Structure 1
């Protein structure tokens, strides 16, 4: 994750989307806020799409305020898509 040092120094809003599967991602999560964690509705589970039981997909941001976050209906992927409303 070579962009990690830059993420902490950026003075502009940052929005990242990712499936966070590894503990090594905790360094990134410490620098940003999860839209679901701050303003989510429900559990935000996204995997597996057929019967979601885990919240591994994230919308993460820095310098942007999440207003709400939610999972969208199934699309054919093995993950449910996410959406968020934000205030810049």
Structure 2
């Protein structure tokens, strides 16, 4: 992601139906008036996804970006949004106690989402995102 410490991991899950590339990501934080780092990490992730040859791919994690933010567009042009397509409700994840926004996402290509949602998790300031897919 271009930051000075590891904030992303790409792994390949080998399944009977074929391989699945999975990115687990925690992008740079955004604060009011200070979004440059987050914007750069969104762009770096979009570049990586665009260059990734995998037919089936999932990106999940804390992207520190709401779906209504225009900086998110490079990713949504490349990937579907499981919550928007198969979730119920808004899928808000932050802050965990009373969520009012959705900076955490499950994005995908080459799969069909069957479910999406959020779970309360102890000891985190975010709720966890979940999604189910079929090939």
TM-score range, shorter chain: 0.7 to 0.9
Q: 2:90 aligns with which of 24, 27, 43?
A: 43
Alpha-carbon distance, 1:85 to partner = 1.1
What RMSD over aligned residues (CA atoms) do the two structures have, in Å?
Answer: 1.6
Gaps of 5+ in 1: none
- Residue 82 (structure 1) shift: 1.1
Q: Secondary structure at the match of 1:36?
A: helix
In 2, the alpha carbon distance for the partners of 1:51 and 1:40 equals 19
TM-score for the superposition, normalised by structure 1: 0.85
Q: Cα 1:5–1:70, aligned 2, differ >3 Å: closer, same or farther?
A: closer
| Structure of higher CA gyration radius | 2
Corresponding pairs, count:
86
Partner of 1:84: 131
Q: TM-score, normalised by structure 2?
A: 0.58
* 1:34 equivalent in structure 2: 81
Match of 2:51 in 1: 6
- Structure 1 residues 24 and 81: alpha-carbon distance in aligned structure 2, compared to 1, 3 A threshold: same
Higher RCO structure (Cα 8 Å, ≥6 apart): 1
Give ranges in structure 2 of 5+ residues lacking alignment: 1-43
CA distance in 1 between partners of 2:56 and 2:123 (Å): 31
**Separation of aligned partners in 2, 1:5 and 1:40:** 25
**Counterpart-to-counterpart distance in 2, 1:63 and 1:41:** 22
